[in-house]
Amino acid sequence: MKNRDEVRELFKAKKVPLTHQRLAVYEELSGRKDHPSAEALYESLKKDYPSLSLATVYKTLQTLHEMGMVARVDSPAAQARYDAIVETHHHAVCTACGRIEDLFDPRLDTLPAPKAEGFVPSGHSVHFHGLCARCAKASAQKTR
């Protein structure tokens, strides 16, 4: 939870203009314990900023995400992806091209139970993110 001056510093360091809207979206998001959607944030912010546009919330979240100040909880991919393997297994997701590889590793199949009050777990999955072989190679080319 960053205070207003820390936020200001981060924007300055990245040379990204800090607008009222951006500050408002960030403070609203970091003040909440749930994981709101863009729409939900918009609904909350509308009271204090009646002129705020939903499109601005989307754009701001995009900007904050690129700055590394917010994370997207679920799918990075726009469309749903399907898998005919329903047994427990895990995934390596390429952050560059979106490719998803299956991982089978029994060491990941049993993990410490989640420490969440009253939560009744039925399963879990581990998502590694990083660069797939192809994209890692392409990235190495570029920076060479």
Partner DNA sequence: TACTAGTGGATAATAATTATCAACCAGGAG
Partner DNA sequence: CTCCTGGTTGATAATTATTATCCACTAGTA
> CA-CA distances (angstroms) from residue 126 to 86, 106, 134?
14, 12, 22
Least distance (Å) between residue 84 CB and DNA = 17
The dihedral through the CA atoms of 54, 76, 69, 27 has a sign that is positive
Q: Out of DNA, a copy of itself, none, which partner does residue 91 contact, by CB within 5 to 8 A per kind?
A: a copy of itself
Q: Note whether 103 binds a copy of itself by CB under 8 A.
A: yes
Out of 6, 13, 20, 73, which residue is the one contacting DNA (CB under 7 A)?
20
Are 17 and 64 in contact by the 8 Å Cβ rule? The answer is: no
Q: Note whether 61 binds a copy of itself by CB under 8 A.
A: yes
Are 23 and 4 in contact by the 8 Å Cβ rule? The answer is: yes
Using the contact rule CB under 8 A, the part of the chain among 15-23, 47-55, 95-103 near a copy of itself is 95-103
Out of 17, 85, 110, 141, which residue is the one contacting a copy of itself (CB under 8 A)?
85
Three-class DSSP category at 99? coil
Residue type for 78, please?
A: A
Residue numbers of the site for DNA (CB under 7 A)?
A: 11-12, 16-22, 37-39, 49, 51-56, 58-60, 62-63, 78-80
